[in-house]
Chain A
């Protein structure tokens, strides 16, 4: 599983609150990815990183920001959570074949 952990695994939060999800990898991979998974949409890329402090937007980046201050950690932040961001969030690394973390189930009420 490429040594990927995610925290928290479950979170319930209220609309308008900030939320940060953490992805941690132990394999020193350069690439890291954040996806969201929703029924009928499959996996959609939110943001990805190709190195420390190097990030770029994916398909559904609006409302999300990321940071990567060290190789092993890739943070996803919802600045002001909305109900449409209720989803399961997966972190993945490396590339081209990806291995996924266990996921974070986020509910925004």
Chain B
């Protein structure tokens, strides 16, 4: 069955530190990949997406993610975090062409110390 695993449930960093949040999925076919962010008290917002092409995807607010097909991974990165990046981050996967089958990871809560 399709699944998404986010390795870190809670991450605490200081401002200006580099960030990498792990995401692995299990599915044998072609997939669409997403990262969402949820700021405190708000709804989920799309941070970036990968459908095909360049495996290094750039999103909003300086975030990027790299799709490594051989590792079934789609890790989220940011070179220098800010206090305003404090939020919960969700990785999501859907098989290409199966719009009804998007699965979310359980989320990683990121806390940035000022």
Binding site for B on A (CB under 8 A): 1, 31, 33, 35, 40-45, 48, 50, 56, 90, 92, 94-103
Contact = CB atoms under 8 A, between A and B. Distances in A.
- Top 4 nearest A-B pairs (CB, nearest first) are A95-B99, A42-B106, A43-B104, A100-B43
A46 to B, nearest CB: 13
In this complex, the member of A43, A50, A96 whose beta carbon has the largest number of chain B beta carbons within 10 angstroms is A96
Nearest to B46: A97
A102 B43 contact: yes
A96 B106 contact: no
B44 A96 contact: no
Given A42-B90, A42-B107, A43-B90, A96 B102 contact: yes
B37 to A, nearest CB: 11
Given A41-B106, A42-B90, A42-B106, A100 B100 contact: no
Contacts, number: 51
A25 to B, nearest CB: 14
A51 B86 CA distance: 37
B67 interface: no
Contacts of A31: 99-100
B49 A97 contact: yes
Given A31-B99, A96-B99, A101 B43 contact: yes
A1 B34 CA distance: 16
Interface residues of B, number: 20
B32 interface: yes
A43 B46 contact: no
Given A42-B106, A56-B100, A96-B94, 12 more contacts: A31-B99, A42-B104, A45-B102, A90-B43, A95-B102, A96-B99, A97-B49, A98-B34, A98-B102, A99-B46, A100-B44, A102-B43
- Of the listed residues B46, B49, B94, B100, the one surrounded by the most CB atoms of chain A closer than 10 A to its CB is B100
B8 interface: no
Contacts of A100: 43-45
